[in-house]
Amino acid sequence: MHIKMSVSIVIFTFLMAAVFVFMVMSRYIIGPFSKLKKGEQVIVVLSFLGVLVVLSFAVIQLVLKILV
């Protein structure tokens, strides 16, 4: 059980790092959100939603492994 917890925490840490890199990349490489075209704004919003879904799934899995 201890090994499963460690793996879950490592995966969660990597996901947090990926979210941080994604946000920095989208801010400095893509540029200000208001200057994007409508289609580009939709793509950025959907990608943020995808990241949030994956992150929330990871949080739920980590909490369930801690509680169960």
Q: Could you list the residue range(s) of the whole structural domain that residue 16 is in?
A: 2-67
Query: Residue 36 and residue 43: Cα distance in Å, rounded?
Result: 10
**19-38 residue pLDDT tens:** 788 777 777 777 777 777 88
* pLDDT of 3 over the 70 cut: no
Under the phi-then-psi rule, with left for phi > 0, alpha for psi from -120 to 50, and beta for the rest, what region is 31? left
Which pTM does this prediction carry? 0.57
The band of 2, judged by pLDDT with boundaries at 50, 70 and 90, is low
Domain total in the chain: 1
* pLDDT of 1 over the 60 cut: no
pLDDT reported for residue 57: 82
Q: Which segments of 1-68 does DSSP mark as H helices, in order? A: 2-25, 38-67
